[in-house]
Amino acid sequence: MTERKPTGQVAEEVERIALPFLGDVSRFALSLTRDESEADDLVQETFVRAMRGWHTFEVGTDARRWLFTICRNAFLRSRERSHRLVLSEEGDLDAMQAVLGHVYATRAGIGDLFDRIDVGPAIRKAIDGLPEPHHSILVLIDVEEMKYADAAEVLGIPVGTVRSRLFRARRLVQEELIEHARDAHLLDGNGGRGAGEGG
């Protein structure tokens, strides 16, 4: 935390240092709210809070990460979504699960799925359907390309938790994608639906 600066200097620094990340914050806000009008309100709230809390920002550190933290906290407060899902934290098992899904789907003919259909809409739908906090983690790491440590700071959780929840989120997206392929009759028979469940 640093000494409070004159308001004019704060506004100048916010415009010079924080505002270049408007696009990033806007994208992140949209991923949280999934509604552009609501996202715009959240973006405005983020920058106003950033200005009011500018004395807590250390110039020279990662402004984008700091803004994302403010944005997510503002979002959680607005939604009163402070609750957390209680899920197991076994990242490597989720990785195994995803590979198994691929194994069974491959047997049913999913091998060249990405070449056969435009998977974008299906993946978008799957991401939009992810529960929190998995949705935020996937967006921060895979869409915004943050490092695990930076995402952990934005979300206020340990790096190991970021890892395990990211893997869970990816597995859920993959399962939705395979389900989409099945619905589109791109898979034969029972492939990808967990053949071997009784194993």
Partner 1 sequence: MIKPEKVKFPPDCEVVVRAIWDYLDGNVSADQLAEIEDHLAECEYCVAHTEFERDLIRHIKQLRARHSDPERLRHRVLAAIRDAKSE
Rounded distance between C-alpha atoms, residue 111 and residue 173, angstroms: 17
Rounded distance between C-alpha atoms, residue 156 and residue 65, angstroms: 12
| Smaller CB separation from partner 1, 29 or 80 | 29
Q: How far is the CB of 80 from partner 1 (least distance, A)?
A: 23
Closest CA to 78 of 123, 22, 32: 32
| Smaller CB separation from partner 1, 14 or 186 | 14
Q: How far is the CB of 102 from partner 1 (least distance, A)?
A: 5
Q: How far is the CB of 138 from partner 1 (least distance, A)?
A: 7
DSSP secondary structure letters along 13-61: HIIIIIGGGHHHHHHHHHHHHS-HHHHHHHHHHHHHHHHHTGGGS-TTS
Question: Which spans of this chain sit near partner 1 (rule: CB under 8 A)?
Answer: 7-8, 10-11, 14-15, 19, 22-23, 26-27, 30-31, 36, 40, 43-44, 47-48, 51-52, 91-93, 95-104, 106, 111, 113-114, 119-120, 123-124, 127, 138, 141-143, 145, 148, 163, 166-167, 170, 173-174, 177, 194-197, 199
Structure tokens, 73: 């906290």
